[in-house]
Structure 1
Amino acid sequence: MSGRVVRGLALLVVVLLASGCAAIPESSDPKAVEWVDEGNTTTPINPPPSGTDPLALVRSFVDSTAAPASNHKAARLHLSTGMERNWQPEPGMLVVDNVDTIPAPQQRDTPRGVQLVSLQADKVGRLLPDQSFQPETGEYRAQLRVEQRPDGEWRITEPPPGLVVSENSFSATYRQVPVYFLDHDSGGVVPDLRYVVSQPVSTLPGRVIDLLTSGPSERYRGAVNTAIPEGVHPKTNTSEATDGALEVNLSELGEVTPQTRKLVAAQVVYSLQSVSSARVRLKEEGMPLLPDAQDLRPTDVAEFEGTDGAHPDAPALAVVDERLVYLDRRANPVPGPAGSGEYDVLRAGLAPGGDHLSAVTRVPDGVELRVGGFGSTLSPLGLRGNNMSKPSWRGDSEVWTAVDGRDVVRVRSDGESWSADRVDVRALTGGEPIADLRVSPDGTRVAAVVGGKVAVSGIDDSDGRAVLREPNVLSGPNDTSVTGVEWRGSDSLVVLTDSNAAPVFDVSADGYQWTPYTSANLGQPLSVVTVDPGRRVIVADRSGLWEARDTNDVWGLLQVPIGGGSIPFFPG
């Protein structure tokens, strides 16, 4: 990614936050020191070291802009007196890597004591005003004007118009948190990845609740819902009570049903679990939100946990020699024409409940999609093309596929028959072909391989038509092309690339974190990736099927009598 070393997030370093008071001695050479003291955090905000040259000053400025304390005081101390007071950076934050500074050519009329500095870096992405992350690629260039003060110290008089932050500073200052909203049918909670300042730890829960009550990130507002009525916000600070419970006191919800109150509780409890292990004491205007449950843990709202996997009894399957077999040590054919050889099965998908099967089958003029009960006759839908992606189920009554790399079709059941309609994918593809397409386990998003990159888009079907809006394009490491994708959970993906050194990655759904799996035992090209309900990853190369449970695992050969030319898959 933009030439930087790919690695996992490191978000546990001390950062600066909140207000303090400046102590400036009365002298002709002031040195401002601001102290931030919240809870157990007491961190000085110092100006750049005395004697810092213009190039080092600009690099230090880029490192300091991530800290939001006192309106980015640490960054302002790098600016001239007038600019320090008047600097109003644009909303959002550009994250960059490989930061370099070089002297810019001086103009003829440049006065003494002025240095133009060229700032060069690789773009990593942007923290948007709603605290979500959007990957970006390419080179960043800016020219800053630095002037020497009468005391000999250099200060920036013309900074960039927006916040430009080094990746190291960003990862040290911000922490990724999943904030939970409701899936498309409001039956369970789903994560929306956001970023909050990680220190002081005592105020983390309050920041998460502020994001929760502000609603989903802009990109997913049409794909997810919330049970929290508009205008409802924390009535008091989210804080720990004397008995250790975490108190969340919301303003009045209005006339809402008991079920809505339970959904609100699920959103709050699941959103807080990544930043606190305390039980949650949820209130409305100082009174218990749920009259029969004062203190809550995730187990108390487990009925709303997202559908992040298939039914435990649903089998794992594989397409082998155009027949469907069980993915086990015997590899017996499945019942019905999909296993007998009556259909020439090229790809298939099993519904999460295990009762319905979809298959892309060969026909004389191309391929067609069939859907039906598992073990039964699969009915053709009249949907044909030259090629179709592996079917991906959205619940037990809806299946998606990409046709000829151009159109995305979803097939839905009304309980009696199946019908197909096209999905609006113009925002997703930008005219590029779709090589792979998978619906997230919670049914709110699609991940697709488009033009050698991963595009993640929310599914907006609020008016009955499915539209994929505002895709987040996740670019992999330099000089690699993405060849396959699968959801590992509701907030992470497994991505295949054409790289020999790093053929498989674990990727956060927003594209910030790319963590490589080991390449040991794998050979290119990798043709298939699938993930079981326990998050075990299985990939196929020419020699066989390989499995790994963690990015640090060495790939082990899957002990089944099925070769590398097969297409294994799990329900979903």
Structure 2
Amino acid sequence: MRAGALAGCGAIVLAGCASMPDSGGLDSVEASQRPDSQVRVFALPPRDGATPTSIVEGFLEALTSDDPSYAMARKYLTPKAAKQWQPQEQTVVLADGPSTRPTSRQNTGDDGQMFQLTGSKVATVDKRQAYKPETGTYGGNLHLTLVKSAKGNQWRIDDLPPGVVLGESDFQRIYQSVNKYYYAVDPPSGDDSEQRQLVPDPVFVRQWTDPLTETVRQVLAGPTRWLNPAVRTAFPSGTALKEGVDSLAPDDANKLTVPLNEKADSANQPKCKQMATQLLFSLRDLSSSSVDEVELKRSDGRLMCTLTEDQADALAASQTSGRPDYQYFLDDKGRLVRVPGSSQQTPTRVPGPLGEVEGEHGLRSVAVSRDQERAAGVTHDGRSLYVASLITSASLGDPLAHSRVVGAKGGFSTPSWDGRGDLWVVDKDPKRARLLVFGQGLGDNMQEVSVSRLDDDARIEAVKMSADGARIALLVTEQGKTQLRIGLVTRSGDGEGGVEFSVSELRAAAPEMEEVTAMSWAGPSRLVVVGREAGGLQQMQYVPSDGSAPTGQALPGLTRVSEIAASENDGLPLLAHSDDGIVRLPSGAAWQAVLAKGTAPVYPG
């Protein structure tokens, strides 16, 4: 937010305290000087006789306060404008906050004042609190008029842009990212009680204004527009908190009671438990409160169901087999080897044919299924794609597919398994580049997947599937630059005549990076990427999948990293392939050597 709170506005700042002080003076603060996320900011009303410039600056400062209803900001508006203004409509995030300047009057006889707001756009957050990166110039106008009052005429804003406009630093201070969860859309099975995949849907909620209640409201409101085609909610349409319920809080036993309106009254027990599972998963990201159990109540106060965290984990489909998490990579002969967990053991070859291949069948890339029962491998020339079992007696068999182009930059990319057992790969044939999926990893279930919103000159270089199978990460080269895109995977079909796959709604992730060379999913809704900003050096960083700004520091550097891998379990180390061979980064430690001549590090997936 633009610096300089004028005499007509100010703020009370409370460090780590949620109550108003009962003594002391008022101090003006500058919005740009708020590095501490634990600082709460409360705006002051306009002073009598304030100039138009003071009113504009005071209003913009009031937008950065921790007032959930913007009550103080409305005091800078005329009564009519205050009633019509809907701050929740959208939030425009600017790099440095809005700059203001007065402009000439637009209409003859207009005694008001017009101010122009300008800035560089970073993102827009819509009414569902979904973040969307945007670039370009922002422009908006504030019109002021004189309003009669008991203390004389006062300048007030009677026309303003929709929503709220904030600087990026203020946005990061006020809001926190939360994953709300919905169920992946699958072909109908008729069994409403079976385990289902949960898909995260990141949104931003105000971290100082009852984030728990706001998160529950957001879950009940349904998925964001971007994710909606690929997921469904267990809550009946129109479900909301019971009228009159304004705030929720867990009791001393960390049980949260959620009274719902009459729209949810018809839900049966299996459906109710699915609803409670969504809430329990969605509330895990909140550091401000701990919820171990959810109790849902009907509109008449009767109990609908209760569910604990352990029960919710049992109802949500797991993307892994529950086996120890191995780290996999290739040795200097192109054979698949592994190391258990975070141990310092010497790598051993996997059982089965992929641990024995050499020569023309030696591998250059590999992907291990999430149940760790099979692996897919691409031969060193990139031409052949195999899938083989990880048991001693298995045979290699015939390749699933062939690529017409061979060489380091051609052939098949590194394959990737989703949590549903489907195998994805890119055939980088420059004359016929294709995104392919093999249903359940079978050669006779191969499909070429259409990708919408991809320009004709764009080329897909790499693919990584999310564990839930509803989202896909792609490295796309366009106009000489390779950048990260996240797409939505939809499946259509009746479950009997086969499933049709498509990828749509591509959006940017890591938009601040000019070039991305490697990436891997590193949890439900973040990735670890290797790349560089414009004019910068190579770096590694965790980035959110919605394209919002990274909040952590860049990871310790390595020399020329070409591959990166992360586990769904954030307690396991990162893996990388650099000039030092295969290395790993345990939490709180430095990079450690694993295999000097190894390549292609992967975790299951």
CA distance in 2: counterparts of 1:301 and 1:370, whole angstroms? 37
CA shift digits 1:182-225 (9 cap, x unpaired): 23445243321122333443xx4333222222221121122223
The question of whether the paired residues in 2 share the 8 Å contact of 1:345 and 1:360 is answered with yes
**For structure 1, which runs of at least 5 residues remain unmatched after alignment?**
1-11, 17-41
Match of 2:486 among 456, 459, 475: 456
Match of 1:268 among 279, 284, 309: 279
| 1:133 to partner: Cα distance | 1.3
Matched with 1:570 is: 603
Matched with 2:10 is: none
Matched with 1:544 is: 581
The question of whether the paired residues in 2 share the 8 Å contact of 1:98 and 1:122 is answered with yes
CA distance in 1: counterparts of 2:100 and 2:242, whole angstroms? 50
CA distance in 2: counterparts of 1:331 and 1:215, whole angstroms? 46
Secondary structure of the 1:289 match is: strand
Matched with 2:132 is: 134
1:398 aligns with 2:422: yes
CA change 1:85–1:517 in 2 (3 A) is closer
Q: How does 1:169-248 map to 2 (within 5 A)?
A: 169-185=170-186, 187-201=196-210, 204-235=211-242, 237=245, 239-240=248-249, 245-248=255-258
Matched with 1:341 is: 358
CA shift digits 1:2-61 (9 cap, x unpaired): xxxxxxxxxx98999xxxxxxxxxxxxxxxxxxxxxxxxx99763345686666654543
Matched with 2:30 is: none
CA change 1:554–1:57 in 2 (3 A) is farther
The question of whether the paired residues in 1 share the 8 Å contact of 2:331 and 2:337 is answered with no
| 1:172 to partner: Cα distance | 3.6
1:367 aligns with 2:395: no
| 1:153 to partner: Cα distance | 6.5
1:433 aligns with 2:448: no
CA distance in 2: counterparts of 1:481 and 1:90, whole angstroms? 35
CA distance in 2: counterparts of 1:100 and 1:314, whole angstroms? 48
Matched residues, percent identical?
22
Could you state the TM-score of these two structures normalised by the residue count of structure 2? 0.75
The question of whether the paired residues in 2 share the 8 Å contact of 1:183 and 1:225 is answered with yes
CA change 1:333–1:468 in 2 (3 A) is same
The question of whether the paired residues in 2 share the 8 Å contact of 1:47 and 1:78 is answered with yes
| 1:486 to partner: Cα distance | 0.9
CA distance in 2: counterparts of 1:459 and 1:15, whole angstroms? 43
CA shift digits 1:142-162 (9 cap, x unpaired): 454556789697554553344
The residue identity in structure 2 corresponding to 1:556 is: W
The question of whether the paired residues in 1 share the 8 Å contact of 2:452 and 2:505 is answered with no
CA shift digits 1:60-90 (9 cap, x unpaired): 4344336696864433333456644555679
Matched with 1:77 is: 75
Secondary structure of the 1:340 match is: coil
Secondary structure of the 2:399 match is: strand
The residue identity in structure 2 corresponding to 1:289 is: M
CA shift digits 1:297-326 (9 cap, x unpaired): 312322134636564346322134461232
CA change 1:283–1:88 in 2 (3 A) is closer
Q: Which moved more, 1:142-151 or 1:192-201?
A: 142-151
Matched with 1:307 is: 318
1:358 aligns with 2:376: yes
CA distance in 2: counterparts of 1:43 and 1:515, whole angstroms? 21
The question of whether the paired residues in 1 share the 8 Å contact of 2:420 and 2:468 is answered with no
| 1:378 to partner: Cα distance | 4.6
The residue identity in structure 2 corresponding to 1:367 is: R
The question of whether the paired residues in 1 share the 8 Å contact of 2:98 and 2:167 is answered with no
Secondary structure of the 1:122 match is: strand
CA distance in 2: counterparts of 1:220 and 1:110, whole angstroms? 49
The question of whether the paired residues in 1 share the 8 Å contact of 2:376 and 2:415 is answered with yes
The question of whether the paired residues in 2 share the 8 Å contact of 1:121 and 1:141 is answered with yes
Secondary structure of the 1:99 match is: coil
CA change 1:188–1:351 in 2 (3 A) is same
1:477 aligns with 2:542: no
The question of whether the paired residues in 2 share the 8 Å contact of 1:227 and 1:263 is answered with yes
CA change 1:147–1:257 in 2 (3 A) is closer
CA change 1:106–1:221 in 2 (3 A) is closer
| 1:352 to partner: Cα distance | 0.8
Could you state the TM-score of these two structures normalised by the residue count of structure 1? 0.78
CA distance in 2: counterparts of 1:419 and 1:255, whole angstroms? 40
CA distance in 2: counterparts of 1:493 and 1:225, whole angstroms? 24
Matched with 2:446 is: 420
Matched with 2:503 is: 468
| 1:540 to partner: Cα distance | 2.4
Match of 2:403 among 375, 384, 396: 384
1:316 aligns with 2:327: yes
The residue identity in structure 2 corresponding to 1:277 is: S
1:410 aligns with 2:437: yes
The question of whether the paired residues in 2 share the 8 Å contact of 1:146 and 1:155 is answered with yes
**For structure 2, which runs of at least 5 residues remain unmatched after alignment?**
1-14, 20-39, 187-194, 340-344, 405-409, 494-498
Q: Which moved more, 1:167-176 or 1:80-89?
A: 80-89
Q: Which moved more, 1:104-113 or 1:184-193?
A: 104-113
Matched with 2:295 is: 281
1:47 aligns with 2:60: no
| 1:99 to partner: Cα distance | 2.4
Secondary structure of the 1:230 match is: coil
Q: Which moved more, 1:487-496 or 1:208-217?
A: 208-217
CA change 1:240–1:413 in 2 (3 A) is closer
CA distance in 2: counterparts of 1:103 and 1:254, whole angstroms? 54
CA distance in 2: counterparts of 1:319 and 1:111, whole angstroms? 78
CA change 1:271–1:70 in 2 (3 A) is closer
| 1:514 to partner: Cα distance | 0.9
CA change 1:141–1:420 in 2 (3 A) is same
CA distance in 2: counterparts of 1:547 and 1:113, whole angstroms? 67
The residue identity in structure 1 corresponding to 2:581 is: G
Stretches (4+) displaced over 6 A: 12-16, 50-53, 107-114, 147-153
The residue identity in structure 2 corresponding to 1:331 is: P
CA change 1:430–1:482 in 2 (3 A) is farther
| 1:113 to partner: Cα distance | 7.9
CA change 1:130–1:48 in 2 (3 A) is same
Q: Which moved more, 1:252-261 or 1:423-432?
A: 252-261
CA distance in 2: counterparts of 1:172 and 1:70, whole angstroms? 14
The residue identity in structure 1 corresponding to 2:358 is: G
CA change 1:319–1:48 in 2 (3 A) is farther
| 1:473 to partner: Cα distance | 1.4
The residue identity in structure 1 corresponding to 2:574 is: V
The question of whether the paired residues in 2 share the 8 Å contact of 1:118 and 1:143 is answered with yes
CA change 1:539–1:60 in 2 (3 A) is farther
| 1:489 to partner: Cα distance | 0.8
The question of whether the paired residues in 2 share the 8 Å contact of 1:222 and 1:462 is answered with no
CA change 1:157–1:322 in 2 (3 A) is farther
Secondary structure of the 2:582 match is: strand
Aligned length: 521
CA change 1:72–1:545 in 2 (3 A) is same
